Amino acid sequence: MDNQSKTPSAVNKQHNLLIFIGKVFVRILVAVLALASGFWLIMASNMGPAYLTNVCNGCLDFWIRMTLLGLGVIVWIITAAWLVWPILRYIYHCIRRNY
C-alpha cells in the first residue's frame, strides 16, 4: 500500500461525500424546524385575546401578541440568513476565483 500517493482513494471520496450529504441534511432539518417554530409563533400571535385575560382586562394582550409576532419574524429572518449565507459565500468565491 502506498501511503505517499497524492490521489485520494475511492473510499475517501465516498466518505467525504457522505459527510457532505449529512451536513446538508442536518442543515435542512434544522431550517425546517426553525421555520416551523417561527410559523407557529406567528400563528400564535393571531390567536386573539386568550392570553392573561384576568390581568388588566386584556391590556397585556397587545404586547404579548406583538412579542410573539416579533419572535416569529426574527426566527424566520435568522433562518433565511443562515440558509442563504453559504450560498452567497460560494458565489463570491466562484467570482473571486475567476477574476
Q: What confidence tens digit (pLDDT) does each residue in 79-89 have? A: 888 888 888 88
pLDDT at 74 over 80: yes
Angstrom distances, CA of residue 68 to CA of 44, 62, 71, 76: 7, 10, 5, 12
Sign of CA dihedral 6, 12, 17, 23: negative
Domain map (residue ranges) of the chain: 10-98
Instruction: Kindly report the average pLDDT of the chain as a whole number.
Output: 79
pLDDT at 52 over 80: no
Tell if the pTM clears 0.75, that is, is over it: no
In angstroms, the CA 36 to CA 48 distance is: 20
- In the chain, what percentage of residues exceed pLDDT 70? 79
